[in-house]
Amino acid sequence: MKVKRIVTNIAAATPSEAEKFYSAIFGLKVVMDHGWIRTYSSGEEMTTQVSVASEGGSGTAVPDLSIEVDNLEIALERVKNGNIEIEYGPVSEPWGVRRFYVRDPFGKLINVLQHE
């Protein structure tokens, strides 16, 4: 057996609220919308991964999601323009990433990162 993909599901009373965060900040597109569930995608081919952690690194909380981007400064600018509070960073970490933490509209802690 081969795992083909892993999907993150986030509980939300109003799935359309995800638009102002996942689409506006990260440019993800709706690829499925049944009203009760919305799936967003970048269209990129991705590696299947599951991370299990005791902390988020540098003593931070374990994030619910990590989103790797190709330009952290653009993501940071969009977060600031959206008046979204940054909970950690931006900071260059000793393991070779630059990152910051924010919360999505549903309270999930998001680690936004770029490999340096």
For each of the domains in the chain, give its residue range(s) and CATH number, in order of start: 15-44+55-115 (3.10.180.10)
Give the least confident one: 2-11, 21-30, 106-115.
Answer: 2-11
Strand stretches in 10-107, DSSP E? 29-33, 38-41, 65-68, 86-92, 97-103
| Residue 112 binned pLDDT confidence (cut-offs 50, 70, 90) | very high
Q: How far apart are the first and last CA of the chain?
A: 35
| pTM tops 0.85, yes or no | yes
Letter for the amino acid at 23? S
